[in-house]
Amino acid sequence: MLALLLLGLAAPACDWEHYAMMNSVPAKGDASLNPVVRVYLGLDGLSHATVTQAREQGAFPAANLARLIPMFPATSDASWTRILHTQRFAGFEFGHFDPVKDKVYNKAIGGLLVHLVPPLEELPFTLPAYAQTPAYYKAFDYHASAYLDALWSYDRPFYGYYRGLDNLFVALEGRSQVQDTFSAYVLETDVVGHLRSQEDVVNALVSLSDRIERFKREHPERTFIFTLFGDHGIDGVAKPPDKVVDFRDQLHDAGVATVESFKEADKVDGPATVAILHTRVTYVALHARPERISEVARLASTCAAADLVFSRGEPREGYPEGLQWVGVWREGALLASFAYEAGTDSYWLPSDGNWEALDLPIFLPPGADHGVFTDEALFALSVERTYPDFFFRARTAFEPISVEFPADILVSYRHPFMSVGYQAPVGSANEIGTAGSHGAMDRLGSTGALLSEERELPSVVRSDNVLDLFPALVDHMREREVKIIPGAQGAELDYAALP
């Protein structure tokens, strides 16, 4: 019923060219009152790899560049919520499991429609919470057009992208008459990344750079300072049809039943889990009863698509009480476990962990049964490795920071596997979005980009810290009455002290 309602609302409510015009009618302003305009562009799926290639072609010449490491799993709505410190999203995606109500929301094609219908801010009634626009949209003066266009014309992704840029710069021209800060969200970069080659994405970024420089030349009365940042990378790995999988099938073969509620799981004689598959990403979120978590994680790690499986860990003997444990599984074995101590913002790493298999250079003194490390030390140690910022990202994946209902188990896919996600009623629609993806722990899809003409940048930035670097953006969000909430405990980094 909700899906039909949303489809009916889409046509009258979502003329985004009209939106851009009505929010950008130029009211001639006095440039002496705002001679400098800071512009913050959130580009969905802005990958460090493609930005680097675009810069080799002369793009973004005045900007400093940093790698931006997002949350795990890096999926758009949850990641933007985390970066901008806005009100929590229900799950990692619109399709999610509420363990309190013991119910899966926005599943199947209805969930896809909720994801694709544009934000409906001005409805005369309130949608159910599970179908409402994510709070982070309010942080942007302009947000991307063409959610539905991306569905109807996936064979023309650049059409939506360039139309979105046209609308963005119309909005910027109007708002800059009276504002000294402007923020915008561009969805279509992610669409291009999922559908086209890395070369095509690079060309799209070069075009954006050209538009920025042209806009500056056409508006010499003000100085425009641009900052661009993404919510995740794009792995750039094409997914063959036989590797686009429904993980529930692999769980079944591994001996794990998939259900839609804990009530149903309790009736199963053996391990059972609620599996959330919503979009074309490279991870799967699993929910299980506490007594079944380790068993489900172990069995899930035997599945062909699984690279690593992370789970809420069990306390270990000989360690202080109150530590937050995480287990890491591969091929049916517990590779390692580690714990976080909130009071000291430090991590406890047992010596029996197979850290080498995780490409992590953890060295403990001979005879030591564990080591205690600071967050800064582990960030520096892991940021150049296969799984960047491994410990912080794995630990916070199970905390209700940007999502209200995080999973109990997270499966990070190996390349070139990808979740089939939704199953559209039109067969051809199930073949789209396989040119690249994101969500897994490894660096290919986890390395986004931060570009700024405003300030110098550390070489690598944890995405939780973006607002700390740009106080003008924070002020602008507050002017827009965005409620900014605290982020993850221990997320702050002393970049100057990093080795």
In a shared domain, residues 372 and 349: yes
Q: Are residues 65 and 143 in the same domain?
A: yes
Residue 79: closest CA among 438, 475, 473, 454: 438
Higher pLDDT pick, 266 / 148: 266
Mean pLDDT of the chain: 88
Strands 460-462 and 64-69: parallel
Residue 59 scores a pLDDT above 70:
yes
- Specify the pLDDT at position 293: 98
Single out the residue in 404, 431, 458 at which a domain terminates: 431
Q: Enumerate the β-bridge partners of residue 308.
A: 412
Q: Give the separation between CA 254 and CA 306, rounded to whole angstroms.
A: 12
* Domain final position from 431, 459, 475: 431
Specify whether 143 is located in the same domain as 13: yes
Q: 473 phi and psi, to 5 degrees?
A: -70, -40
Long-range contacts of 263-272 (CB under 8 A, 24+ apart): 263/102, 265/289, 265/292, 271/295, 271/296, 271/299, 272/296
245 in a domain, yes or no?
yes
Chain-centroid distance, C-alpha 320: 33
Residue 222 confidence (pLDDT) above 90: yes
Residues 322 and 460 in one domain: no
Specify the pLDDT at position 8.
41
Same domain, 266 and 353: yes
Average the pLDDT over 310-332 and give the result. Answer: 97
Range of the domain at 253: 241-431
**Band of residue 394 on the pLDDT scale cut at 50, 70, 90:** very high
d(CA 328, CA 353): 9
**Burial of 296: CB neighbours in 10 Å, binned 0-12, 13-18, 19+:** buried
Q: Are 256 and 392 in contact, with CB atoms under 8 Å apart?
A: no
Tell me, yes or no, whether 139 and 226 share the same domain. yes
- Asked if residue 376 has pLDDT above 70, the reply is yes
Residue 437 lies in a domain: no
Report yes or no: 397 and 73 within 8 Å, Cβ to Cβ.
Answer: yes
Determine the average pLDDT of the residues in 223-242: 96
The pLDDT of residue 497 is 87
Residue 475 lies in a domain: yes
**pLDDT tens column, 173-221:** 999 999 999 999 998 888 889 888 899 999 999 999 999 999 999 999 9
Q: What is the pLDDT of residue 423?
A: 62
Residue 102 located in a structural domain: yes
Residue 40 has pLDDT above 60, yes or no: yes
198 in the same domain as 171:
yes
Q: What does the pLDDT read at residue 361?
A: 97
Do 485 and 427 share a structural domain? no
| pLDDT-based confidence at residue 127 (cuts at 50, 70, 90) | very low
Q: What's the confidence (pLDDT) of residue 27?
A: 62
Query: The whole model's pTM is what?
Result: 0.90
Give me the pLDDT at residue 15, please.
40
Q: Could you give the CA distance from residue 322 to residue 285 in angstroms, rounded to a whole number? A: 25
Q: How many CB atoms lie within 10 A of CB 334?
A: 19
Residue 304: pLDDT band by 50, 70, 90 thresholds? Answer: very high
**Residue 64 is part of a domain; what is its CATH number?**
3.40.720
Mean pLDDT of 355-381: 96
- Residue 31 maps to a domain: no
Cα–Cα separations (whole angstroms), residue 339 to 228, 316, 398, 406, 487: 34, 9, 12, 18, 19
Instruction: Pick the most confident of 120-124, 140-144, 189-193, 224-228.
Output: 224-228
Provide mean pLDDT across the span 248-261: 98
Q: Residue 274 pLDDT more than 70?
A: yes
- Cα 32 to Cα 27, 28, 37, 221, 479: the distances in Å are 15, 12, 11, 9, 21
Question: Vertex 360, ends 355 and 363: CA angle to 5°?
Answer: 70
Same domain, yes or no: 187 and 274 = no
Give, in order, the Cα–Cα distances in Å from 283 to each of 75, 212, 338, 396, 411: 9, 35, 21, 16, 5
> What pLDDT, in 10s, does the model give residues 344-358?
999 999 999 999 999
Cβ–Cβ under 8 Å, residues 164 and 186: yes
Calpha distance 18→174 (Å, rounded): 14
- For the segment 445-462, the average pLDDT, to the nearest whole number, is 98
315 and 461 inside one domain: no
Query: For residue 124, is pLDDT > 80?
Result: no
| CA dihedral for 75, 80, 83, 89, sign (positive or negative) | negative
Cis peptide before 315 (omega within 30 of 0): no
Residue count of the chain, please give it.
499
Q: Is the pLDDT of residue 109 over 60?
A: no
Higher pLDDT, 155 or 95: 95
Beta carbons of 294 and 327 less than 8 angstroms apart: yes
Alpha carbon distance 72, 74 (integer Å): 5
Q: Where are the beta strands (DSSP E) in 60-162?
A: 64-69, 96-98, 103-105, 142-143
The pLDDT of residue 154: 56
User: What is the total count of domains within the chain?
Assistant: 2
Phi-psi region of 58 (alpha: psi -120 to 50; beta: other; left: phi over 0): left
Chain segment 138-161, per-residue pLDDT in tens: 999 998 654 454 454 455 778 778
Q: Where are the alpha helices (DSSP H) in 305-437?
A: 375-382, 390-396
Assess if residue 414 is contained within a domain: yes
Which pLDDT belongs to residue 20? Answer: 47
Q: How far is 149 from 34, CA to CA, in rounded Å? A: 35
Q: Are residues 424 and 447 in the same domain?
A: no
| Pairing status of strand 283-287 against strand 306-312 | unpaired
Q: Are residues 397 and 262 in the same domain?
A: yes
The pLDDT score that the predictor gives to residue 430 is 56
Q: Tell me, what's the pLDDT at 152?
A: 44
Least confident of 27-31, 243-247, 313-317, 378-382: 27-31
**Is 436 within a domain?**
no
**What is the pLDDT, as a whole number, of residue 134?**
84
**pLDDT cut 90: percent of the chain above it:** 75
In this structure, is residue 438 part of a structural domain? no
The residue that leads in pLDDT, 360 or 152, is 360
Largest CA distance in the chain: 73
pLDDT confidence of residue 162: 86
| Model pLDDT, residue 150 | 47
3-state secondary structure of 157: helix
Strand 306-312, strand 460-462: pairing: unpaired
Residue 37 CA from chain centroid, whole number:
28
- With vertex at residue 78, the alpha carbon angle to CA 485 and CA 311, rounded to the nearest 5 degrees, is 105
